[in-house]
Structure formats: C-alpha cells, structure tokens
Amino acid sequence: MLDDLSKAIQAGRVHFVKGDRILRRQFHQCQAGESPASCPWLLRQKIVRAGQGHLGGMLFGAPAADEVLEAVAAFEPHDGRDVAGGCGVDGGHGTVSTVGKVVNASMLGPTLETERLILRPPIEGDLDGWEALAADAEAMRYLGGVQPRASAWRAHAMMAGSWALHGFGMFAVIDKASGHWIGRVGPWQPEGWPGTEIGWSLLRPFWGRGYAREAAAATMDWAVDALGWTDVIHTIAPDNVPSIGLAERLGSTYRGPGRLPPPVADRTIGLWGQTAAEWRTRRHART
C-alpha cells in the first residue's frame, strides 16, 4: 500500500504538497515502520498533489486516482458503511463519485488508544458532548463561562477545522467502558497563540480519575513524535489549581505570565511548559 503510493510519487504521478514538511517526514517514517499508528491518517492527508481530485484532504491527478484509492482502501479496512461525499475524483470533466471505498470514524486524523481511552479527531456526532461541556458552569469557569448549544457547535466546528487545515487539533476523548464522549484533549495552536499547546477539558463526572493525565500524556507523545513539536505549553488561569496540578504531574514548570490573542485577550493566564527533550526523558524514565 505505502510502497504503491511511494512508487506513484517517485514516478511523478503524485507528489507532496509544497511546504508539507511534517507530512513528508511522517510518510517516510511510515515507510520505515517507525510510526505505524499514523500511517492510515497520513494516507488521508494532503501529502500528494497533481492538481486535480481529492480524497479526504489528499490531492492527486486523475491518472493516479484509482491507485491512490486502492492503496488507502487496502491499508485500512472499513465496516461497509458508505460515507456520502467522502471522496471524489475530478478528471477535468466534473466529479465522479467513489463513495464507499474508504470509511473511517474520522477522516481528519489518527486514532490513539490508551488503557482506558480512545482518542480520535472530532466527528459530527460529538456535538451533544460539546453542548454538555459548554453548559456546565464549573467546567467552563476558565473557558469563558456557560455557552449555548449554538456556541458549542462553533467551538466543535473550529476544532474540526483545525484538523482539516493544519493536520492536528484536540482529540475527542472516548471512554472505552461506556463508549461515551467525555471531553477534548490535545494539540492546539490558533493564530497568535503563545506556543504549541496541549490542552484539556473533560466533563465533570470524569474529573479526579486520571483521565485527563492519561489523554494528555498520549497526545503529548503524538505531538512530539508525529508532529515534530520541540516544545509544549499549557495556558492556565492562575487560580485553576486542578489544571496547574495536572501540568506539574506531566512535568511542566511555570514559565511566567502569558497573553492570548483576540477574542480571548482579556483572559489572565500563566504559561506552563517543557521541551520535547524533557518530555522524552520523562517518558523514558516511565518505561
């Protein structure tokens, strides 16, 4: 699968999007067997282009369309459900539907797994969870206060947009035991942000059980290893004691006051963080 796609790239039928250095590195890591968990995701990202056609963010020319579709479909099994509008090939004479060839819980990114959690990019069905989080005054105390469902939809769509545009965003956190959405955790870097952040916010019934730390550690691993981040920060309100405690348990230290961009520039926050090298050292000590 990857070999077939690699041959197509080498033959000039498809090639990397200019500037997608992270995806280029990850593709070669997949070929070398260094990052197998990210490979299905990479096959759906903007790693190839020949000016026409698309497949979940992957761009390719009509001559290579079938080869790319077959490579992706063979690499990751599907459950037989069709994904309306999920893929298409534009050969210059309109769009030819190829619905149903590739199916996944989310076309935006990888799925990570920990002992108790499934971490995946957002899907449309997560909105009720986002609404429940936004309606909890305590959970939203440091995130702008209680918000209506319409605002929760915007926040949900913004996170999905980050995945679509940048190849990363916060993961939806799914409790394995129940299958329920319990929050969002992971990489976040809007325009003007003070650094590459790993953030977290869970539904209140799941506080104090180690879920946030479990998810944050997994997504920090992914950000450092797959995205190539060299530094990780957490933007935390000075009186948010639980989040400060979590940052410290992850090994991050206080760096001083920080400033967020509009429209949240009025929030008072402190910056906590650590380098990727420091995180790797701590991770090695745990194993």
Q: Give which of 234, 237, 204, 192 is closest to 217, Cα–Cα.
A: 234
For residues 172 and 242, state if they share a domain: yes
Q: Are strands 197-202 and 171-175 parallel, antiparallel or unpaired?
A: unpaired
Bridge partner list, 174: 118, 181
For residues 193 and 280, state if they share a domain: yes
3-state DSSP assignment of residue 262: coil
For residues 39 and 72, state if they share a domain: yes
3-state secondary structure 147-200: CCHHHHHHHHHHHHHHHHHHCCCCEEEEECCCCCEEEEEEEECCCCCCCCEEEE
Contacting residues for 34 by C-beta, under 8 A, at least 6 apart: none
For residues 161 and 220, state if they share a domain: yes
What does the alpha-carbon distance between residue 130 and residue 156 come to, in Å, rounded to a whole number? 7
**Quick one: pLDDT at residue 77?**
38
Q: Give which of 162, 2, 180 is closest to 76, Cα–Cα.
A: 2
pTM of the model: 0.68
For residues 167 and 266, state if they share a domain: yes
Q: Which of 42, 64, 97 is the last residue of a domain?
A: 97
**Quick one: pLDDT at residue 94?**
27
**Quick one: pLDDT at residue 91?**
27
pLDDT in tens, 122-159: 999 999 999 999 999 999 999 999 999 999 999 999 99
The two structure tokens encoding residue 93? 């004479």
For residues 275 and 141, state if they share a domain: yes
**Quick one: pLDDT at residue 256?**
97
Q: Which of 53, 71, 97 is the last residue of a domain?
A: 97
In a domain, 162, yes or no: yes
Tally the domains of the chain.
2
For residues 84 and 118, state if they share a domain: no
Q: Which residues of the chain have pLDDT under 70?
A: 1-106, 287
Range of the domain at 236: 112-286
What does the alpha-carbon distance between residue 110 and residue 37 come to, in Å, rounded to a whole number? 7
Q: What is the CATH number of the domain that holds 221?
A: 3.40.630.30
**Quick one: pLDDT at residue 282?**
86
Q: Which of 73, 97, 121 is the last residue of a domain?
A: 97
Half-sphere exposure of 92 (CA within 13 A, CB side): 5
**Quick one: pLDDT at residue 28?**
64
**Quick one: pLDDT at residue 243?**
97
pLDDT in tens, 99-122: 222 223 467 889 999 999 999 999
